[in-house]
A and B are shown apart, each in its own frame.
Chain A
């Protein structure tokens, strides 16, 4: 079946540091890939997405590229802020028959200190 593996946290960074969160997946066919973010006390919000190989999703300074050859979708940000402290989830949707039925990774907590 489909699965998502992401790096364990917590990841602790200083403000303005570079952030990478690794995400790899296992899926048949051509899944769509997502990064969701959960700020303290809030629900999950879509951060970015990519629906086909080599697509790059970007939002709020975050980027991730859909790499089919390495089955990866790593999240990056060049200069983090304290407000980026949150839990980040990588997720996939296996096919159009699976719309809304996301497979999530375990989440990576990011803590950014001033």
Chain B
């Protein structure tokens, strides 16, 4: 069983640029959630995709956007990068949110973004 994989693992961008981060969900999982983890902080929920539709969003501006593809992989896009966007971006997948699901998330190792 393949776990959650994210790419790239590290990247450096400059202020104002755009970035795309990618995530492959664990086999059999149809839900992907994205989190931002600033240094020394807990992860903050960005948004969730369930069966290719956005299914909830945290307190992040519209320049944070996402997609989920038919194979349930996902992208996180951030436009007009700011210095405060420097963080570890975590993708987490979960099985169907229906009956029997008890809330566990399966996390990837993250993409570390540095904005200069």
Are B103 and A100 interface neighbours, CB within 8 A?
yes
Tell me what chain B mostly uses at the interface: helix, strand, loop, or mixed: loop
Highest count of chain A CB atoms <10 Å: which of B40, B104, B110? B104
Partner of A34, one of B41, B90, B103: B103
Give Cα distance in the complex from A84 to B31, angstroms. 30
Are B33 and A107 interface neighbours, CB within 8 A?
no
Are B107 and A44 interface neighbours, CB within 8 A?
yes
Are A49 and B103 interface neighbours, CB within 8 A?
yes
Smallest CB separation, B19 vs chain A (Å): 19
Q: Which residue of A lies closest to B99 (CB)?
A: A96
Which residues on B sit within 8 Å (CB–CB) of A45? 107
Are A101 and B48 interface neighbours, CB within 8 A?
yes
Which residues on A sit within 8 Å (CB–CB) of B7? none
Are A43 and B4 interface neighbours, CB within 8 A?
yes
Partner of B94, one of A43, A51, A100, A104: A100
Partner of B102, one of A32, A89, A103: A32
A82-98 contacts to B (CB < 8 Å)? 89, 91, 93, 96, 98
Give Cα distance in the complex from A102 to B102, angstroms. 12
| Range class of the B interface residue count | 20 to 34
Which residues on B sit within 8 Å (CB–CB) of A43? 4, 90, 107-110
B11-51 contacts to A (CB < 8 Å)? 31, 33, 35, 40-45, 48
Smallest CB separation, A62 vs chain B (Å): 16
Smallest CB separation, B74 vs chain A (Å): 12
Which residues on B sit within 8 Å (CB–CB) of A34? 103-104
Smallest CB separation, B32 vs chain A (Å): 9
Interface residues of A (CB under 8 A from B): 4, 32, 34, 36, 41-46, 49, 51, 89, 91, 93, 96, 98-107
- Can you name 16 A-B pairs with beta carbons within 8 Å? A42-B109, A43-B4, A43-B90, A43-B110, A44-B90, A45-B107, A89-B43, A93-B103, A98-B56, A99-B101, A100-B31, A100-B103, A102-B45, A104-B42, A106-B40, A107-B42
